[in-house]
Structure formats: structure tokens, C-alpha cells
């Protein structure tokens, strides 16, 4: 089933709702949409869970919003989705920017309706380099992303798909289909929302959100992630979380593909069991 709901500020949010059972809510990465989670949503639904995945505002089939493209609003949209469907005992699963959305939701709205969370290749605690985060990614990298979206986003997204999946590594057989799918989903994002989200995923500080989280969190990350480097993200997040399990995937890139996908899906199902 697919449907939409309207947020308190008037944005229409598209979501998928598959299966029955304990709700597993997926938040996607930038600049994709809920379709990026299709394989995992089908997997959990076929294992007795209810899979729910939404298109972030400005992305995919949701309203191409002019305003409200902020991490706080993303988290509030997630909260309104959860409340609209009256979800209880939910598990939140966020990839990349979606991992930031999950962390901000839990820091901002608490865990009354949520019992577990998964952060996959997630951007917390904070990506950008600064005096307080010297190991971070230089601001010039994000300026280049902004320039790519601004000048020729179609070519930029196509080029990004290569490093997203690690297809630029020696010996890795690239999938043109995966790259085309990434490009297709990316081009569905509204340009203003995509552009403004770059600042949100790179400069938002999730440190205090992570410290507030009081539920078990699986922190999953590939050790060859060229988009969100492991040691400035997952390693630090696991240390800040009260109840965390860190799972590092040798050779894993940023996007789920191949052996990385297989291993993560096995860990995800295991984490959902208890």
C-alpha cells in the first residue's frame, strides 16, 4: 500500500506501508527517496514485520517544498508520520542523512513510540571539519557538492553514484543498473530541497541527540565508505550512545550493494528478533 499524509505546515508526504506486525520505519539518504529501501522493506515485511518508508519532504513523490528543508523539520515530519499511523514499539532505520533524521527524531521527540534504532552509514555526530571536529570532512568538499547540484546536477549525480557504491575501487565490478537507479531517484528530488539538504547533513551537530538516546542502537558502517568516513561517524556515534552495537563491514562502501548488502540484511534481521 502507498499513501500520503499532510504535515502541520502543509507538505504532503508520500509513504509505503507493506506487511503487518512490528513497524520498521526506514529513512533514506540524500538525495534519494523511499525506493532506495525497497529490497530491505520487502525483506522485513516477508519476515513478519510491517515496513514503512517515506519520501523526505522535497524528495521523490513528496511535496517539492520551498521552505522547511531543515533537520528539525525532517525529524518533525517523521514524528508526524509515526503519530498519524499511531505506531508503537517501532524500530527506526536510517541510512546516511536518514540516520541523522533518526537521531534528531529521538533527541527531539524521545523514544516513547520507538524501541530500537539502526544507523547505517549515518552522518552523525557531525560531518564537517572544524576546530572541534578536526577529523571531519573539509568544508570545501561540501561546497563542491553544492556547486555540482547547482551547475549540472544530472552529471553530478551520475558521477556520485560511482563512489557511493565503491565502483571506483580496483577489482570491483560496477553495476550500471545500480548507477542508473541512483541517478533516477536523485533526479526526482527538488533542486532547492536537495541543495539545502547539503548543509543539513554536513553541518548539523547530532552529539546531544546521540547522548539522549536511551534505546538499543545498531551502528552499521562499511570501512571503505568514501562518502561518510567510518572513523568520524560510526565510531564516534557508538561511543556517544548509551546502548550501542557497532558493526563494521570490511570493504563496505556507502551504498548497500553485493556482500555488504547481504551481511547488513542478516544483521538487521538478527537485531529485529529480540
The catalytic residues are 96, 225, 254
> Cα–Cα distance between 124 and 234 in angstroms, integer?
7
CB 228 within 8 A of CB 121: yes
Chain centroid to Cα 27, Å, comes to: 5
Residues 236 and 125: beta-carbon distance below 8 Å = yes
| Ramachandran assignment for 266, one of left (phi > 0), alpha (psi -120 to 50 degrees), beta (any other) | alpha
Q: How far apart are CA 102 and CA 22, in angstroms?
A: 18
Coil/strand/helix, residue 80: helix
CA distance 143 to 120: 24
Amino acid at each position: 500500500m502507498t499513501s500520503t499524509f499532510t504535515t502541520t505546515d502543509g507538505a504532503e508526504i508520500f509513504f509505503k506501508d507493506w506487511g503487518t506486525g512490528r513497524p520498521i520505519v526506514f529513512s533514506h539518504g540524500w538525495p534519494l527517496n523511499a525506493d532506495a529501501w525497497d529490497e530491505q522493506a520487502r525483506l522485513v515485511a516477508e519476515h513478519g514485520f510491517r515496513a514503512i518508508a517515506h519520501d523526505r519532504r522535497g524528495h521523490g513523490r513528496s511535496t517539492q517544498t520551498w521552505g522547511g528543508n531543515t533537520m528539525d523539520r525532517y525529524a518533525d515530519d517523521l514524528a508526524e508520520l509515526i503519530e498519524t499511523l499511531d505506531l508503537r514499539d517501532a524500530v527506526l532505520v536510517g541510512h546516511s542523512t536518514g540516520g541523522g533524521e533518526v537521531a534528531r527524531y529521538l533527541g527531539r521527540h524521545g523514544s516513547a513510540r520507538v524501541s530500537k534504532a539502526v544507523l547505517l552509514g549515518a552522518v552523525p555526530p557531525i560531518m564537517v571539519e572544524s576546530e572541534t571536529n578536526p577529523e571531519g570532512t573539509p568544508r570545501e568538499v561540501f561546497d563542491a557538492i553544492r556547486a555540482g547540484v547547482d551547475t549540472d546536477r544530472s552529471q553530478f549525480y551520475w558521477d556520485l553514484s560511482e563512489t557511493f557504491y565503491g565502483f571506483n575501487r580496483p577489482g570491483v565490478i560496477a553495476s550500471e543498473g545500480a548507477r542508473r537507479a541512483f541517478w533516477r531517484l536523485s533526479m526526482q528530488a527538488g533542486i532547492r530541497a536537495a541543495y539545502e539538504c547539503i548543509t543539513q547533513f554536513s553541518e548539523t551537530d547530532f552529539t546531544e541527540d546521540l547522548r539522549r538516546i536511551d534505546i538499543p542502537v545498531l551502528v552499521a558502517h562499511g570501512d571503505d565508505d568514501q562518502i561518510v568516513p567510518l572513523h568520524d561517524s560510526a565510531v564516534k556515534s557508538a561511543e556517544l550512545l548509551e546502548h550501542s552495537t557497532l558493526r563494521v563491514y570490511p570493504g563496505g562502501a556507502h551504498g548497500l550493494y553485493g556482500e555488504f548488502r547481504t551481511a547488513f540484511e542478516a544483521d538487521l534481521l538478527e537485531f529485529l528478533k529480540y
